[in-house]
Amino acid sequence: MMLITCPWCGRRAQTEFSYIDDATARRPNMDSVNEAEHFKFVYERDSRRGVQYELWHHHAGCGKFFKIHRDTITHEIHATSKLSNGFLEGVK
């Protein structure tokens, strides 16, 4: 069982959370995006082997979305944070 620290509620069991998406993915501007860029956003994934930034949802708790810095090889969670802080600065 993974224990995940929700930045709002604290440490809870994995079953209260769900993985949503790559936290570094950015929806392109729909007014100016070309087809190739749009395709990349919808279909392509990094599938990183190692540490990555992810968006998770505390669906059975506070209902908030937040960010996780997690290793896909070991499942180790290095950090979690609220969406509002600069956790992802310098990424991508």
| Shortest Å distance, C-beta 66 to other proteins | 14
49: Cβ contacts below 8 Å, ≥ 6 apart: 72, 73
d(CA 8, CA 21): 19
| Shortest Å distance, C-beta 69 to Zn ion | 17
| Shortest Å distance, C-beta 76 to Zn ion | 20
Q: Which of 22, 25, 59, 61 binds Zn ion (CB under 5 A)?
A: 61
Determine the Cα angle at 84 with ends 10 and 1, to 5°. Answer: 30
Binding residues vs other proteins (CB under 8 A): 1-2, 13-15, 18-19, 39-40, 42-49, 52, 54, 70, 72-75
